[in-house]
Amino acid sequence: MGDNIVVISLECTACAGKGRYHYRKNKKVQRDKLELKKYCKFCKKHEVHKETK
């Protein structure tokens, strides 16, 4: 991977950290924290997942 591309973790906001996705992000293009609406297998519905450290 390049210097600008990092692997981040996306954590479900509804179930307090059980559901996680791993995602690649370009730091030059996406400077702020990433929020995506993804499916959570613990909640069994689509929820907002936020970037963690």
pLDDT at 51 > cutoff 70: yes
**pLDDT score of 33:** 92
pTM of the predicted model over 0.85: no
What is the edge-to-edge ordering of all strands in the sheet holding 5-12? 20-26, 5-12, 45-51, 35-40
Q: How many domains does the chain have?
A: 1
Structure tokens at 22: 């791993």
Give pLDDT, residue 18: 73
Pick the closest to residue 19 from 50, 27, 32, 53 (CA basis): 50
Which range marks the domain in which residue 20 is found?
5-51
Look up the CATH number of the domain holding residue 46. Answer: 2.20.28.120
* Per-residue pLDDT reduced to its tens digit, 3-46: 899 999 999 989 876 778 999 999 999 889 999 999 998 889 99
